[in-house]
Structure 1
Amino acid sequence: MTRTVFGNHSALRVPRAERDRIRRFYLDVLGCEVTREFDDKDDLRMGDGFFISFLYERGDGREVDEGVSYAAEDVLSDDDFLKAIFLELKTDDVEEMRQKIVDFGVRVLEVPDPHLYFQAPGGQVFRLVGTTEDLSRYEGRP
């Protein structure tokens, strides 16, 4: 059977008004690095090899990534972001990172799970977990 895993690149369409908070959160709180920045797009590296692009509203990124066409629809509403995918953040010190995230002032979600679920600037929902934590109960394995 073919094995499928999440790739190491993501692109998110976000409101332009959130750009400063997005940059502060991802750079200052989570320690990401800017790899490229343009008028309508920021590319960030998280850790050694995960890349996340923020597309600000209607910019299509074509000048940035030749041959790639991003959809030019409007951004999602705040409520629609909460219905979208939950992304997982792994950290070596869950309590320290939890405190930094909460202190930043994100929206914390009430989820019947012991992990911190929060909405980051730009609307993405994350679950915070430990790097050595056994998460097999979420994988549907017996």
Structure 2
Amino acid sequence: MTKVIFGNHSALRVRRTERDRIRKFYRDVLGCELTREFDDKDDFRLGDDFYIAFLYGSGDGREVDEGVAYAAEDALSDDDFLKAIFLELKAADVEKTRQKIVDFGVKVLDVPDPHLYFQAPGGQVFRLVGTNEDLSRYEGN
């Protein structure tokens, strides 16, 4: 049986009007490090190696992470905020796990990134990555 674990990168699409409160809460209240800030994206490090990106409304963010476009063209509706986060899953055998996920019949998302992004039953969005894959480009250091 293929086993997976949660990865150490997540992203949230949020309203731009929440940017100041997000920065104050994560940096000032929780003590997280703001590792990178851009017009449409902030990256925080929580603890030693958990990274969370906040994606603010519109923009394309292409220069941020080597061609990966994160931000939506328009801010999300209230209903869309229910599915506003993606979680990272790590697997030792990415191709085998990918095939099992796709064969199950999940909704595969069209994301300009080489990883598989899919919506699991229940609405959660996941990105599938390798357990030994170098993901440092998402960390900003």
TM-score of the two chains, using structure 2 as the length reference: 0.54
Q: Which residue of 1 aligns with 2:50?
A: 50
Partner-residue secondary structure (3-state), 1:5 = strand
Q: Output one character per residue of 1:85-109: Cα deviation in whole Å (capped at 9) or x when no partner.
A: 799xxxxxxxxxxxxxxxxxxxxxx
Number of equivalenced pairs: 86
Give identity over the alignment, percent.
74
Indicate the RMSD between aligned Cα atoms, in angstroms.
2.2
Partner-residue secondary structure (3-state), 2:6 = coil
Q: Which residue of 2 aligns with 1:9?
A: 9
1:36 Cα offset (Å): 0.7
Asked if 1 retains the 8 angstrom alpha-carbon contact of 2:57 and 2:71, the reply is no
Q: Which residue of 2 aligns with 1:99?
A: none
1:53 Cα offset (Å): 0.6
After superposition, where does 1:85-104 map in structure 2 within 5 Å?
none
The alpha-carbon distance between structure 1 residues 35 and 86, as it changes in their structure 2 partners (threshold 3 A), is closer
Q: Which residue of 2 aligns with 1:106?
A: none
2:83 partner amino acid? A
Q: Which has the higher contact order (CA 8 A, sep 6+)?
A: 2
Q: Output one character per residue of 1:22-41: Cα deviation in whole Å (capped at 9) or x when no partner.
A: 00111111111011111111
Q: Does 1:37 align with 2:34?
A: no
Partner-residue secondary structure (3-state), 2:7 = coil
Q: Does 1:66 align with 2:66?
A: yes
1:59 Cα offset (Å): 1.7
Distance 2:21 2:71 in 1: 23
1:84 Cα offset (Å): 3.4
Q: Which residue of 2 aligns with 1:84?
A: 83
TM-score of the two chains, using structure 1 as the length reference: 0.53
